[in-house]
Amino acid sequence: LDFENLAFSDVVRQWNYIENIIKIINEGSERQHYQIFNDVRSSFYGKSEFINGYPSATGIGIETGGVVIDFVALSPSRKLTIKPIKNPGQIDAFEYSEKVLVGKSLNESLKKTSPKFERGKVLQTLDAARIYVSGTAAILGENIVDKRNIEKQTLVTIDNIRNLISTENLKEIGLNDLNPEKKSFSYIRTYVKHQKDISAVKAICEKQFKSE
C-alpha cells in the first residue's frame, strides 16, 4: 500500500483466509478463531478512518496456514466514487450484537467486537459501475436461517445478494442512472462447508444464475 501511495482505508475488497475459522480453542476460556480475528481486525481498523465505509470482505475457512489476506485497494477521485452498500434484509455486520458472536473476547476485560465489513461496495466511474459483494450467507437480520437445510440456506443467500444489488436498493445510495438491463454477474465464487452438499448447491446456483 505504501509503495502505491495508498492508505489502509483505501482497501475496498478483502478476502480473509483463516485456519479452522469456526474452531473453538480452550486456553483458560473458550475462544473462536473467527472471533479472535474480529477482535484483532477491530483493533487494527481503529487506527484508520474509513470515510468510504469498511472494506467489502469474506471470511474463508482453510485447513492450515494461519491467516492469509488478499485485497483490492483503490483511491477515490473525481472519476471514481466509492460507496458502501447496505442490505435491507440484514443488519450491518459491524452492528451485530454480542449474542451472535461466538466464544470469549480476546481481551476478557473488553467486549467482543463485531466483524468490520460492509455488505458490499460500489465503485462508480462516469460511465459504469462495479459492485463487490461481500461474503454472503443465509442470514436475516443477524441470525442464521435453517442451519440444517442446505437448499433453503442457498436460496436465502442468493436472495440476499439480489436484494443487495437490486435497482431499488442502489437508488438508496444515489445510483439512479444504472441500466438494469446491462446489469450482469462477472464472477461468482461459492464456498460450501460440507463436501457432501457441493452438488446440491451447484445445481441450485446453476439454475438461479443460468440467464445472468
Contacts of 64 (CB under 8 A, 6+ apart): 19
From first to last of the 212 residues of the chain, give the pLDDT tens digit. 999 999 999 999 999 999 999 999 987 679 999 999 999 999 999 999 999 999 999 999 999 889 999 999 999 888 999 999 999 999 999 999 999 999 999 887 789 999 999 999 999 988 888 999 999 999 999 999 988 899 999 999 999 999 999 989 999 988 876 666 667 787 888 999 899 999 999 999 999 988 66
Bridge partners of 69, per DSSP, are 16
Give this prediction's pTM: 0.89
Contacts of 101 (CB under 8 A, 6+ apart): 35, 38, 112, 113, 114
pLDDT at residue 180 in the model: 60
pLDDT at residue 99 in the model: 94
Instruction: Choose among 117, 128, 146: nearest CA to 13.
Output: 117
Total H helices, total E strands in the chain: 4, 10
Instruction: Choose among 20, 10, 60, 16: nearest CA to 40.
Output: 16
- Pair 4, 47: CB distance under 8 Å: no
The CA distance from 169 to 158, in Å, is 15
> What radius of gyration, in Å, describes the C-alpha atoms of the chain?
18
The CA distance from 150 to 45, in Å, is 34
